[in-house]
Structure 1
Amino acid sequence: MIASPRSPAIDQSGTETRQEDLEPGPHLRRFLMVYEFGLQEILTKIKILQEELRLINGESPIEHITSRVKSIESLTAKALRKGIPLTGASVREAVHDVAGLRIVCSFVSDVYTIADMLLRQSDVELVVAKDYIADPKPNGYRSLHLIIDTPVHMSDRVATARVEVQLRTVAMDFWASLEHKIFYRWHQHVPTALREELAEAARSASALDQTMQRLHSEARSRPLPP
């Protein structure tokens, strides 16, 4: 049976889509609900890992976690900016950060440990990984980005939620936050001198990460005093 223009259709991933634009209403709320539930699924997985590692090692490798689902205003603006049709199928295929999760870790090694544990789970599928720690952006930005798919069991189907996970250290997060504030303040027209100082600050943050990692490893390898 061919779905009418006003009837839901199911794409190959199981995500409900429509031929018309994603206009405000129940369908749009349900579309975003899949991302919200997918984000909650990944958050639960991360919190389980966090608590288990705290129990095993006596400390947590995660300093803090933030998450968000794009507002319809932000989603619409990005789609228009990138020339993406506002349909469910188009948005899901082209916009990978509708749902976003940021995990801030203590050390660089923790970033890769958490990423590896998450990707080993059977219901987490890696779509693409971008390692800006091993290969920083020209401006100095460092972080590990994972685009992942996870199933969401709705009342009438199993949908697929795509989530962007960013993992970084405290130093990386501090630098990224400052860089964002500076670029927002200057409306992208940041003076060359400030750009150069930001790049130098990124190198200093990287050196700090290396030093802190070494000190942490050395402290854990030494026997405790009697």
Structure 2
Amino acid sequence: MDIEEEMHGIVEQRERFRDFMLGYKFAIDEMITKINILREDFNNTNEYNPIEHIGSRLKSPESIIRKARRKNLPVNFESLRDNFLDIAGVRVTCSFISDIYKIRDMISDQEDVKIVEERDYIAKPKASGYQSLHLLIEVPVFRARGTQRVPVELQIRTIAMDFWASLEHKIFYKYDRHVPLALRQELTQAAEAASSLDRTMEKLHESVRAGASPQDVMDRTNENLLPKA
């Protein structure tokens, strides 16, 4: 193979990879549009809006290829498509735990959406203390040459869960995943504190919506915040 043919092959592969990644970018756009419609609709009806923040991330080609090689997987489009279902990710942050499941139900009720897998790390937190609801969702992406169904990982969590997860990520990155035991233990304790805060805020939210008196709300708050005997 001469240099010209080799260069042509490199350019062709680059264009194919760009097209491959575009499908996931469009899937993120599709998912965010769906969530933004829900958020705007909540605002329009003057109903309580459970959606605090929407974020997204698209894994870089470099990180995908590194992970494939680390797992001894073939580096081709079919293998990447079949083995990496979290290339596209969307995160929704809510105020309360009940909001998480409310949004999950609204997404799953949409006819063109298919929930492939649900991992509930709120009902069963990870050993580290990590909590979040993970949904693997297939969404239709309407492209010029036809419709693709593309997987998107949707994470839904409270503000407290998100704050903890962000801190954990920074710590693990700083220590290259070799976090000292004492620090891991403190992280677990912080996760328990965040979970306790979520439960307290949920109860306060329920009391306010139920029309509890200020004294009832104060009494319930004290019950949740005072140390157990």
TM-score after normalising by structure 1: 0.86
1:93 aligns with 2:98: no
How far is the alpha carbon of 1:73 from its aligned partner?
0.9
Q: Kindly state the Cα deviation for residue 52 of structure 1 after the two structures are TM-superposed.
A: 1.2
Q: Does 1:156 align with 2:154?
A: no
Instruction: Name the structure 2 match of 1:117.
Output: 106
Partner residue of 2:92 out of 90, 96, 103? 103
Structural mapping, 1:29-108, within 5 Å: 29-108=18-97
Alpha-carbon RMSD: 2.0
Q: 1:133: how far off? A: 0.4
Which SS does the other structure have where 2:131 is aligned?
A: coil
CA distance in 2, matches of 1:109, 1:136: 16
1:70-219 equivalent positions in 2, closer than 5 A: 70-219=59-208
Distance 1:115 1:174 in 2: 20
Distance in 2 separating the partners of 1:150 and 1:21: 31
Deviation at residue 175 of structure 1 after TM alignment: 0.5
Q: Which moved more, 1:157-166 or 1:216-225?
A: 216-225
What is the CA distance between 1:23 and its match in structure 2? 7.2
Mean CA deviation greater in 100-109 or 179-188: 179-188
State how many pairs are aligned: 206
Structure (1/2) with the larger helix percentage: 2
Q: Deviations over 1:66-104 (max 9, x none)?
A: 112111111111211222212222111110111000111
Deviation at residue 56 of structure 1 after TM alignment: 2.9
User: Does the CA-based 8 Å contact 1:151-1:159 persist in structure 2?
Assistant: yes
**CA contact 1:21–1:85 (8 Å) conserved in 2:** no
Offset of residue 59 of structure 1? 3.3
Measured after TM superposition, the shift of residue 50 of structure 1 is 1.0
- Look up the SS of the partner of 2:118 in the other structure: strand
Residues 91, 21 of structure 1: CA spacing in aligned structure 2 closer, same or farther, 3 A cutoff? Answer: farther
Q: 1:191 to 1:33 in 2, by over 3 A?
A: same
Contact 1:35 1:161 survives alignment (8 Å):
yes
- Unaligned segments of structure 1, at least 5 residues: 1-19
- Which consecutive unaligned segments of at least 5 residues does structure 2 have? 1-8, 215-229
Q: CA deviation at 1:206?
A: 0.5
Residues 113 and 57 (structure 1), Cα distance of their counterparts in 2 relative to 1, 3 Å cut:
farther
Aligned partner of 2:220 in structure 1 is none
Spell out structure 1 runs of 4+ moving beyond 6 A: 20-23
In 2, distance between residues paired with 1:200 and 1:81?
Answer: 32
What residue number does 2:223 align with? none
SS, match of residue 25 in structure 1: helix
Contact 1:34–1:160 (Cα < 8 Å) also in 2: no
**Is the contact between residue 153 and residue 159 of structure 1 (CA under 8 Å) also seen in structure 2?**
yes
User: Which amino acid is 1:159 matched to?
Assistant: Q
Q: State, as a whole percentage, how many aligned pairs show the same letter.
A: 50
> Could you say which structure has the larger radius of gyration?
2
2:10 & 2:211 partners in 1: Cα distance?
62
TM-score by length of 2: 0.84
